[in-house]
Amino acid sequence: MAQTESQLEIYKIILGRKTVRQIIREKAEADEITINTDIEYSNYLFRKLLNKLTEDAAWTSDKTKLGLSLFVNEGEDVNTILSNHSEQNCIEGFVNGGPYDKIKTIARTTDVSQREQLGRDKMVTERFYMYLHLPLGSKIGLLLIEEKGSLKISSAVQFLLIELLKTHRSAVKFERFVPSSLIEEYKNGSVVDTLTFTDYMTTSVVDEEGEDPIEKQYGISIKITPPNEDKTDFDLVNNMLHALRGASMKLGLVTKRLSEFSRKNGTLKKENKSYSFSLGNDLKIKPIIEIEDRFQDAELGTLKRVDIKSMCDELLGQIRHEIYTV
């Protein structure tokens, strides 16, 4: 099985006026449950999350058209897929997620006449790794979550956690977080190699009999490469992006600015080594944390659980002082 290129995204969870402990206590009281110890607080939150992910119906987000669940395969236990580490204030493990509300066709590669159309109520999922850090005495938490190339569920997970953590007069917000050490690593001596803007156009075509319309999705990619003799230094890249801010392209009947494309990526070069980064909707550079191939379990198509947790534990230790300033 081919390995999937994976990256790690980090989000700062801002809980507003209340600490994690206060939020859990308020929700437990609403459920008429008494909790006292730190372990009980942690276990209560974990159970609430599991309940949302283990119902017969998938948890869905109409805003993102993404569904989430925990698929328990034969020989697995739900607590071995997603686990609570109360001593670390950490919930980590795998979540199944993917898009729904799209008409797709699956077929055998060896015989494309053997195919099946998936309706809008079907979701096509992958297993993604998630690492959630919520210290009980803090008003801030961290979400570290895997994305697989163009496949990502971070927006749906954020909506799920907002639903889990929001209380009266306490909003929950997410901010993309990039460690300062990673930004410095990008900046020093690097030049912009490519900028790539990717989106999708969906059109309806009739089937082979000329009767039933089928939705087909086409990928559109625009690649911008500065000339070799005029590579842009990292410190000047914002000037380059500002010049592209008003550029647009017509996709079918819709005209989109480059800043509105669903994926906006680029590469930097430094000493013959390439680094990847993404662009936000404001066209600001957001460095990407690459997950090396040695963390991939090629047979299962997932990350190696023990290894990726160790990586996240280490990363948390490195950035803790940037997040929890008090």
In a domain? residue 297: yes
* The total number of structural domains that make up the chain: 2
**What's the mean per-residue pLDDT of the chain?**
85
Domain range enclosing 275: 185-285
Per-residue pLDDT reduced to its tens digit, 106-123: 888 898 888 888 889 999
Residues 138 and 264 in one domain: no
1 falls within a domain: no
Is residue 132 in a domain?
Answer: yes
- 135 and 101 co-located in one domain: yes
Q: Higher pLDDT residue, 137 or 193?
A: 137
Whether residue 18 is found in the same domain as residue 142? yes
Q: How far apart are CA 164 and CA 22, in angstroms?
A: 13
Tell whether 203 and 281 lie within a shared domain.
Answer: yes
Residue 4 predicted with pLDDT over 60: no
Of the candidate ranges 36-40, 85-89, 113-117, the one whose mean pLDDT is the lowest: 113-117
- pLDDT greater at residue 143 or residue 226: 143
Do residues 245 and 168 share a domain? no
Write the pLDDT tens digit of every residue in 199-239: 877 776 665 665 666 666 778 888 888 776 666 666 666 67
Q: Worst-scoring range by mean pLDDT, 8-12, 129-133, 155-159, 210-214?
A: 210-214
Assigned domain for 23 exists: yes
| pLDDT for the residue 2 | 42
Going by pLDDT thresholds of 50, 70 and 90, the confidence category of residue 1 is very low
Is 235 inside any structural domain?
yes
Same domain as 253, residue 158: no
Q: Is residue 203 in some structural domain? A: yes
pLDDT higher than 80, residue 142: yes
pLDDT above 90 coverage of the chain, percent: 45
In this prediction, residue 134 carries a pLDDT of: 97
pLDDT greater at residue 173 or residue 234 = 173
Q: The pTM is what?
A: 0.76
Q: What percent of the chain has pLDDT over 70?
A: 87
Same domain, 47 and 171: yes
